[in-house]
Amino acid sequence: MIRRWRPSGRTGMHELSVCQGVLRQVAVIASEHQASGVESITVRVGPLSGIEPGLLAQAFPLASAGTVAERATLIIESLPVRVRCKSCGAESETTPNRLLCGQCGDFHTQLLSGDEMLLASMELTT
């Protein structure tokens, strides 16, 4: 019985595995639309997603080579970190490691934006 193995085709940079995951989704969607190519891929990545936009951009040409998206432009949109206070209801913009209410300083807040990791849209050649 094998209890130990090495998953194949993985690399140390988690942005590369994220990129490969995105491209598999892109391939499915492109084939659903019988697209011959992908012109652009727009993703939304917030500072609290754990994904570094610079590394994602670097990983993209490596991961997309030989796929339907190899000529695609990767567009990365980032949104500010915003919270809504559960105590006073105020909404404020803040930094990733200080998710306190900008009005009253309470830490009981809900994150409104800043942790997105979304495949938002694609432009296809059909």
Partner 1 sequence: MCDTCGCNITPGNKHLVQAGGKLARTQDGKAAVTVLKNLLSENDHQAAHNREHLDQKGVLAINLMSSPGAGKTTLLEATIDALGGDYKFAVIEGDLETENDAERIRARGIPAVQITTGNACHLDAHMVHQALHQLSLDGLDILFIENVGNLVCPASFDLGQHRNVTLLSIPEGDDKPAKYPVMFRAANVLVLTKTDLLPVLDDFDPDKAERHLRELASEAPVLQVSARKDQGLDGWLDWLRAERDAHRHRLAQGETLRPAIQPDGGRLHALKNESPPHSHDHEHGHHHGHEDV
Q: Which residues bind partner 1 (CB under 8 A)?
A: 1-7, 10-14, 17-18, 21-22, 24-25, 28-29, 32-35, 39, 43-46, 48-51, 79, 82-83, 96-100, 107-126
Q: Are the beta carbons of 38 and 125 closer than 8 angstroms?
A: yes
Q: What's the min distance (Å) between Cβ of 23 and partner 1?
A: 10
Q: What's the min distance (Å) between Cβ of 65 and partner 1?
A: 19
Nearer to partner 1, 61 or 105 (CB): 105
User: Hey, CA dihedral for 123, 40, 65, 16, is it positive or negative?
Assistant: negative
Nearer to partner 1, 61 or 80 (CB): 80
Nearer to partner 1, 61 or 95 (CB): 95
Nearer to partner 1, 21 or 61 (CB): 21
Q: What's the min distance (Å) between Cβ of 17 and partner 1?
A: 7
Q: What's the min distance (Å) between Cβ of 89 and partner 1?
A: 15
Residue 12: which residues within 8 A CB-CB, separation 6 or more? none
Residue 43: which residues within 8 A CB-CB, separation 6 or more? 22, 56, 74, 75, 76, 77, 117, 118, 119, 120
**CA distances to 48, 82, 92, 108 from 89, in Å:** 22, 13, 10, 10
